[in-house]
Structure 1
Amino acid sequence: RGFSIWSVLKNAIGKDLSRITLPATINEPTSAVQRITEDLEYIDLLRKALHAQSSTERLMYVAVFAVSGYSNTLYRESKPFNPLLGETFEWQSADGDTRFLCEQVSHHPPISCWWSEGAQGGFRYSGELEMRSKFWGKSVELIPTGTCWLQLPGSGDLYSWEKVTCQINNLIMGKYWLEWHGTVTIKNHTTGESAEVKLAKCGGKQERRGELSGTVKDTQGHTAWTISGSYLDSISASEGKGGGPGQVVYQCTPLPTDAEEQYNMTPMALSLNNPHPGLLRELPPTDSRLRPDQRELELGHTEEATSEKLRLEEKQRETRRVRKEAGEEHAPMWFEMRGGPDGKDLIRTMKHNDGKEGPMWHFTGTYWQAKQVSDWSRCPDVYSKS
C-alpha cells in the first residue's frame, strides 16, 4: 500500500489533496461528512456537563469532550471519501435522544456544516469545517479550519473551539502513522471562562500519541481544574492545580477484536454504516450511505468503487459547468449562511470569527420537517447515472 500511495502522491508535493483525483483503494467506506458524526461518540461527557455543580466543572467536561473525538482516528489508515456537493448524513442515537445532520455546503473550498441536538434539548452542537491538506513528501498535514459551537440552553452557556492539526507521517518507508497536535482553546462566551488542552507532538515516539494536558481557568485567570491523561486511554481531572490522581472523567472505548479487518473502525463508526432498513427507506437521496462508490468499497469491489468514484466526480464537474453557464450558484438545502450576501467573504476567514454568537452557517430546521412528511423532492441529484 505504501508504494501505491507514493506512486499517486509523488507529483502532488505542496498541493491541496482535495483537488487531486485519487483511487478508491486508499479510502475507507465512509464519507467525511459521516466522520464528523463520530465527534459524538463520547456524548455522555455532555450529559455530565449538564449536571455539573459549577460553570468551571461544566467547562471541564466540555473541554474533555472537545478532544475525545480524536481517539477514533489514530489507527484509521484509510481516508474517508471527499464529500460531494449537496451530500448529507443523518444520524440518530439508538435511544432516540440525539439527532445529527451534516451537509456539504460548498465544494471549492470544501465546507461541511453540521447541527445536532440531544438530552431532550439540553445541548446543541454545531459548526462548520473546511479541511485543508498539504503533502510535503514524507508527510501530509490536514489542517481543519472552522469553529465548533456548543450551546447548553439550561445554563445559557455558549462555547466555541477549533480543531487541531493532524499529521500523517512516514509515507515513504515503513508503516505510516498519524498524530494530532496543537492546543485546543475552549471559550465560554457567556461567563468569560476558558480552557486550554495541549496535544503535544510525540516526537516520533508513537507510544506517546494521545497524551494531553490542560487547565480550566475561571474569570480571574485562576486554575479551577487540571486535566491530564491520554485520549487513547483515560483522562482525569482534579480541582485546582492538581497534584493528585484526580477523578477519571473519560475512558476510551477499545476497538473490536477484528478491527484490523474493518479499517480499524470503532464500534460507533461500524454502526453508522449499518442502519436499520427502516431508516434507509426514510433517508433523502443525498445521504452518504447511498453513495455507490462507498457501497461498492464496503462490499469489497475495489475496481467498481474506483469506477463509481470517478463517475461521481465527473458528474459533479458537469453539474458545476452547467450551473456556471446558467449563471446559477449552488444553494445548500438545510443550512443558510449568516451575514447576508457578503457572507461569502467570511468563508476563507471563518477561523477568525472569534466572538460571533453562533456558527457562520445557520441550520434552518427544515430537514426534520421534510423527513416527517417524506418529501425530498427538492434534493439535488448527486448520485444517479442520469
Structure 2
Amino acid sequence: MVSVSRMIGGSDPHNETTKNAGNSTTPAAQTPTTKKVSAFKRLGKFAGSKKEPMYPLRDLEDSEKITSTPQKISGMVILKREKKRRMNLQKRYHAKLNNGVLKLYKQKDKQKEDKKPFTAEFNIDVSTLSQVMYNDNARKLSLVFQKETYTLVPIDKDKYMQWKTGIHQHRLYRQFQKKEGLLDESENSQLQKTQLAFQNIVEDGAAGKLENKVAINQEVGPLVNVDEKPTSPKHSKEGDKDEKKGKEMNTNENNNLGTGSPKKTGSSEGDKEEKRLVTALKALGSAMETYKLVHSSSIQILDRIQKCHDESNEILRELKKLRRRKHSNDDDECCSDEDEEDSTSVKERPKEVPATTAPLDQNAIAMLKASVSALNINEEELQVAKVKKSPSLPNIAVSNAKNQSETRIKPLEPHVALPTQSPAPSAIPAQTQAKPRVDAAKPQVHPALLPPKKRRETLPHDQIYGDSIPMMAILKRSLPIHAYEPLGILQSACEELRFAATFLDRLQKIDNPGDRMSLIAGFIISGYSGMSIRNRKPFNPLLGETFDYISDDGWKYHAEQVSHHPPVSACNAEGNGWEWQQTLQGTITPSLDGSTSLNCLLPIRLTLANGEEYVWNKVTTIIQNARAEAIKRKVKNEGEMSIRCSNGYECKMLFTSEKNGIRGEIRNNQQAIVFRLVGCWDKGLNRILPSNEQERLFEAPPHYELSSRYYGFNKFTLGLNEITSELRPFLPMTDSRLRPDQRFLEFGDSKRANDAKNSLEQAQRQRSHLQHRQMWFTERHDPFSQKNLWMSNKKYWTSKQNCFKDPYSAKILPLFSGE
C-alpha cells in the first residue's frame, strides 16, 4: 500500500524513522513543520494585498481665477512615509489647513486629542508639492515631494472627502495667489525656509544621511523622525556605551599624538556645519549651471521662432500672389495694375526679404503652387456651418415619393443585447439631416426665439462636498446646501428632451406605427441615460417660478411651478411636428435602510402632427444611501412602464434593478407582438425583430470628461443655468436662472447660497396668504389619459417677444431681483 505522504510528494515517516532510529532528533519530526512553513509562505504570496493606483489632483490652469478663500479644515491625521521596506512607522498629528498651509502638531497621547497644541511643529505649503495624489477607495492622500512621498490618512474616515477637496482648493488658491503676487513676502519667505528644510530632510533620509536632521529639527519639528525607529531603554544604554567608547578612543588618540601619524580633531558641530555649507555650495553651483543652460537655450528658441515667423509671412505673400495670378488668368477683365503686380516672378521675391531672414526653399514654393492649384478653396465653402453630432439611430422606414416600400436598418449581430464596448455616436443619416440654422438667413425670427450663439462647457467653480445628511433633515425636508446641485426641478425636467430632435423630429416621416413606437421608446430611455452619475438633488422651485429653453435643434421648452401644496410643475415643449407635455407631481418616501423612493403620479403626453397621441408613466426612482456623502449615493430605476398610442399600439417595458436592465415588447392593435425590446437604461436600447436579429434604437453617448468636476453634468446640462447677453433682456423676473442661491452654489460659495435659499423660502412663506394665479398653464381634463393635466395656454412665447412688458405680463409677481 502506497503511503499518503508519497502520494502528495512528501517522505514516508515510517521509512525515515527506521533509517534514523539511533538519532535523538529525527527528520520525521521536522518534515511536517517544514511543510507548514513552506505552505504558509506560499499562502502569504497570494494573501498579499495589491497596491491600488493613485490619481493626481489637477493643478491651476492658466485662465483659471480663484478669488474666494477656501474654508479652514482641522482634524487628526496619520502621516507615514511610503517605503519599500516591510515595516513602515506612522505618526499621529493634529493637522490644520488654512490659506494653503498645512500645519502639523505632534500628538503623543490619544486621550489628549481634544486639546489643541499651541505651536506647530511643521508647516507645509501645499502649492509647492510636486503632486497631490488620492485614492477614494482606500481613502488616503499622498503628498509627493521631490524625492519622497508621504501618505496622509484622516483618522475619521468620513472626513476624507472634506480633506481631499480642501487640500485641492487650498492648493489651487495658493497657486493663484503666487501667480498674481498677492502673498505676504515675509510669510512666504518663512514658509520657503521651512519647506527647503523639509526638502533637505527628505533628500538626506532617502540617501541614509541622518547628520543634518539634528540641526534642522529645531526649525521643522518631529516630522523629521517619521522614518526613524523608536528608541527603547535598552537601545539608549547601548548608545551610551558606544559614546563612552568613542570618548575613550578620542582621548587615547589625543594622548598619543607624538607616537603615531597626526589625525584631525574637532567638534562634531563644526563638521556638520561644514558639510551643510559644502552641500549648499554644490547645490548652488548646479543651479547656476542649469540656469545658464536654460537661458542660452531659450535665446536660441526665440531666434528660431523669429526665423519661422518671417518665413511664414513670406510664404503667405507667395500664396496670395499665386492665387491672384490664377484668378487673373481666368478673368479677362482684370485691371492693368493687378496684371503688373501679378506678373512679378517668384524668383524675384527673395530680394525683398530682409537680410536676417533665410531665402525660401524652391521645393517648398513648388509644393505651395501645386497645393493651391489642386485645392482652389473658395471663401463661400469655408462658411459651411458645423452639424452637431447625434447618437446613432436606426434607419427606419422613411416615406419616399417614388417608392412607398419600407427599408429597415442594417441589423446588428444577433443575440446581442448591447455591445460591451459601444462605438462613437454617428451622425444622423443623410436623408433625415436638417440643414444647419443660419441666423442671417432668417430675419423673420424674433431675437427672443433664437438660441445663444455659443453655450458654456464648464461651471465657474468645481462642485462642493459635504458630510452625510442627518435623518431628521430628510424627514423635515430641510437639506443642507451641499446636498443640492445648481439646477432647479424645472431645469432638470428639460434634460429629458436632450435627444428630442434626434427622435421626435423623424416621426412624421415614418409610416409604420411599430417603427414610430420603437422610436418613442428609444426617446424615453434617452431621458434616463444621464441619471447614472447624478447624485444631488435639484432645488425646489418657488410658486410662480418659470424657466424656458430654446434648443439649437429647433425645439423650445417652457415650464412653471403652478402649485406649492402639493408641489406641481407644468412643462411644455414644441418641436417639428410634435408637442410634449408633462405635469410633475410626485411623492417622496424615505425608508429605514437609508434609501429614498420618488414616484410620479401623472403621465407624460405627446401629440404628433398626424393626430396620434401617446401617453406613458414614469417608473420609480430609488436613491440608495441617500443620507451618505454624494459620492456614495446611487440612483436606480425600477418598475413597469406602459406607453399607449391612440392607434391601438402599446409598448410595455420592465425596469429591473439587476445591472439597470430593461426588457419589453411592442404590440399592435391586434395585441400581437411586433418587436421585443432589451437593453439598459444607462447604456442604450435594442429591439429584436421576429427573425431574432437586433437593431439599435438608442445608444447612450460617453460621459463628458469634466462631469466628475461639475456635479455629473453633461454639456447639455451645463448650459441650462447660463445667462448670456442675448438672453438677459428677454427673461422674466421669475426665471430660475435668476435665483441667487443656485448662482452662489455655481461659484462654490456655500454659505451665501444657504443664506439666499433661506431668505427665498422665508419670503415665500410671507406670500402664502396671497391668492396665486397661474400665468402660462391651465388645468384641463385629458380624455385620452383620463387625468387632469396642466396644458400650456400658448401665451408665454408672445410675452417673451415683448420682453414681458405687455399688459398680460404686468400681472407677474417678481420673485428675484436679477442682480
Q: TM class, shorter-chain normalised?
A: 0.7 to 0.9
Q: Say if 2:776 and 2:796, in contact at 8 Å, map to a contact too.
A: yes
Specify the code of the residue in structure 1 equivalent to 2:738. L
Q: Say if 1:12 and 1:135, in contact at 8 Å, map to a contact too.
A: no
Corresponding residue number in structure 2 for 1:342: none
Corresponding residue number in structure 1 for 2:816: 383
Corresponding residue number in structure 2 for 1:100: 557
Corresponding residue number in structure 2 for 1:368: 797
Corresponding residue number in structure 1 for 2:710: 262
Q: Say if 1:2 and 1:172, in contact at 8 Å, map to a contact too.
A: no
Partners of 1:172 and 1:74 in 2: CA distance: 18
Shift of 1:234: 2.4
Shift of 1:89: 0.9
Specify the code of the residue in structure 2 equivalent to 1:377. A
**Aligned residues, how many?**
349
User: Pairwise mapping of residues 1-386 of structure 1 onto structure 2 (< 5 A)?
Assistant: 6-8=468-470, 10-11=471-472, 15=475, 20-43=477-500, 44-95=502-553, 97-119=554-576, 122-137=577-592, 138-153=594-609, 155-171=610-626, 175-188=632-645, 190-202=646-658, 208-209=659-660, 211-240=661-690, 243-244=692-693, 246-321=694-769, 323=770, 329-338=771-780, 355-356=784-785, 360-374=789-803, 375=805, 376-384=809-817
Q: Percent identity?
A: 29
Q: After superposition, give the CA deviation of every residue in 1:282-330 in whole Å (9 maximum; x if it has no partner).
A: 1111111111101110111110000000100111111003x1xxxxx31
Unmatched tracts of structure 1, length 5 or more: 203-207, 324-328, 340-352
Cα distance change, pair 173–367 in 1 and its aligned pair in 2 (3 A):
closer
Shift of 1:243: 2.3
Partners of 2:625 and 2:796 in 1: CA distance: 42
Partners of 1:359 and 1:47 in 2: CA distance: 27
Specify the code of the residue in structure 1 equivalent to 2:657. K
SS at match of 2:527: helix
Partners of 1:308 and 1:291 in 2: CA distance: 9
Q: Say if 2:485 and 2:538, in contact at 8 Å, map to a contact too.
A: yes
Q: After superposition, give the CA deviation of every residue in 1:91-131 in whole Å (9 maximum; x if it has no partner).
A: 01124x10001111000110001111001xx0000020113
Q: Please, which moves more after superposition, 65-74 or 293-302?
A: 65-74
Q: Say if 1:88 and 1:286, in contact at 8 Å, map to a contact too.
A: yes
Cα distance change, pair 74–2 in 1 and its aligned pair in 2 (3 A):
farther
Partners of 2:627 and 2:478 in 1: CA distance: 20
**Which of the pair has the greater relative contact order for Cα pairs under 8 Å at 6+ separation?**
1
Corresponding residue number in structure 2 for 1:347: none
Q: Say if 1:49 and 1:59, in contact at 8 Å, map to a contact too.
A: no
Q: After superposition, give the CA deviation of every residue in 1:326-368 in whole Å (9 maximum; x if it has no partner).
A: xxx31111001125xxxxxxxxxxxxx7734786212101111
Q: Say if 1:167 and 1:178, in contact at 8 Å, map to a contact too.
A: yes
Specify the code of the residue in structure 2 equivalent to 1:66. I
Q: Say if 2:504 and 2:520, in contact at 8 Å, map to a contact too.
A: yes
TM-score (norm. length: structure 1): 0.85
Shift of 1:157: 0.6
Q: Say if 1:25 and 1:306, in contact at 8 Å, map to a contact too.
A: no
Specify the code of the residue in structure 2 equivalent to 1:282. F
Q: Please, which moves more after superposition, 106-115 or 71-80?
A: 71-80
Shift of 1:276: 3.2
Specify the code of the residue in structure 2 equivalent to 1:334. W
SS at match of 1:272: coil
Shift of 1:6: 4.5
TM-score (norm. length: structure 2): 0.41
Cα distance change, pair 270–57 in 1 and its aligned pair in 2 (3 A):
same
Specify the code of the residue in structure 2 equivalent to 1:133. I
Cα distance change, pair 365–288 in 1 and its aligned pair in 2 (3 A):
same
Q: Say if 1:2 and 1:171, in contact at 8 Å, map to a contact too.
A: no
Partners of 1:277 and 1:357 in 2: CA distance: 43
Corresponding residue number in structure 2 for 1:344: none
**After TM superposition, which residue ranges in structure 1, 4 or more long, deviate above 4 angstroms?**
1-7
SS at match of 2:729: helix
Partners of 1:194 and 1:148 in 2: CA distance: 15
Shift of 1:198: 1.2
Q: Say if 2:615 and 2:785, in contact at 8 Å, map to a contact too.
A: no
Q: Say if 2:488 and 2:736, in contact at 8 Å, map to a contact too.
A: yes
Partners of 1:337 and 1:31 in 2: CA distance: 22
Q: After superposition, give the CA deviation of every residue in 1:161-195 in whole Å (9 maximum; x if it has no partner).
A: 1111111113456822110111110000x212110
Specify the code of the residue in structure 2 equivalent to 1:219. N
Q: Say if 2:572 and 2:579, in contact at 8 Å, map to a contact too.
A: yes
Specify the code of the residue in structure 1 equivalent to 2:754. T
Partners of 2:527 and 2:496 in 1: CA distance: 5
Partners of 1:215 and 1:177 in 2: CA distance: 28
Q: Which structure features the higher share of helix residues?
A: 2
Q: Please, which moves more after superposition, 163-172 or 309-318?
A: 163-172
Q: CA RMSD in A?
A: 2.3
Shift of 1:219: 0.7
SS at match of 1:46: helix
Specify the code of the residue in structure 2 equivalent to 1:38. E
Q: Say if 2:518 and 2:697, in contact at 8 Å, map to a contact too.
A: no
- Look at both structures and tell me which one has the larger radius of gyration over its CA atoms: 2
Cα distance change, pair 135–159 in 1 and its aligned pair in 2 (3 A):
same
SS at match of 2:757: helix
Partners of 2:653 and 2:497 in 1: CA distance: 19
Partners of 2:534 and 2:485 in 1: CA distance: 9
Cα distance change, pair 269–360 in 1 and its aligned pair in 2 (3 A):
same
Shift of 1:56: 1.5
Shift of 1:275: 4.5
Partners of 1:358 and 1:49 in 2: CA distance: 25
Specify the code of the residue in structure 2 equivalent to 1:125. W
Corresponding residue number in structure 1 for 2:172: none
SS at match of 2:811: coil
Q: Say if 1:187 and 1:193, in contact at 8 Å, map to a contact too.
A: yes
Partners of 2:697 and 2:785 in 1: CA distance: 30
Unmatched tracts of structure 2, length 5 or more: 1-156, 160-465
Cα distance change, pair 52–275 in 1 and its aligned pair in 2 (3 A):
farther
Shift of 1:281: 2.1
Partners of 2:787 and 2:607 in 1: CA distance: 9
Partners of 1:76 and 1:131 in 2: CA distance: 19
